[in-house]
Amino acid sequence: MRPQRGTSKNRSLPSGRFNLRIEPELHAFLRDAARAAGTSLNDFCARKLASPGGLMDPAAGVVVDRAGSILGESLMGVVAFGSWARGDESESSDLDVLLVVGEEVSIARGLYRSWDDGPALAWDGHEVTPHFVHLPSGSERVSGLWAEVALDGLVLFERELAVSRYLAHVRRRVLRGELSYRVAGGQPYWVHEP
């Protein structure tokens, strides 16, 4: 006798089917996006779910997409940091985004011009401000920027976990007491301890 669908013998094998109830407006948007991409709605949704940023906040996806369109395969990571990431932003705060690039990319004004050539980006009502950087080697002295990003940064995208590994390296140095956070005259700074 052949097992029928839905029997316990058949339940351990995934069907490959996934049904999702969504608002008609979202369905229309996805259908139109799939059509524009020249693919089926099913294939478009599967690719979107599997892509970097496919499941993130739409505003974060726009930031990652902008960075990717400028840097291509040289984009190693995107990390939101600063007051917004810490949750202590004001209405006038910007939203800082660290764009980690490969060593083959020269960090020059042209990168910022490329970013500025597109429409201004906002996320949660805050203007997105890019900061282009190279990923330091583990033996380099940790800058205050990287210490701040290691403690409060939110990794939005990365390749091969290189950014997360470096941030973990910095956090371990903080935990060992090699770096300490101080404030003087209301200004925060980091000190390398002997």
Tens of pLDDT, residues 18-39: 788 888 888 888 888 788 778 8
Q: Which domains does the chain have, with CATH numbers?
A: 51-192 (3.30.460.10)
Query: For residue 181, what are the β-bridge partners?
Result: 190
Q: Is the pLDDT of residue 10 over 80?
A: no
Task: Find all residues with CB under 8 Å of 64, minimum gap 6, and list them.
Answer: 52, 53, 56, 78, 156, 157
Cβ–Cβ under 8 Å, residues 98 and 149: yes
Place of tokens 């478009």: 44
Percent of the chain with pLDDT over 70: 89
- Over the stretch 65-115, which tens digit does the pLDDT of each residue have? 999 999 999 999 999 999 999 999 999 999 999 999 999 999 999 999 999
Strand bridging mode 179-184 / 187-192: antiparallel
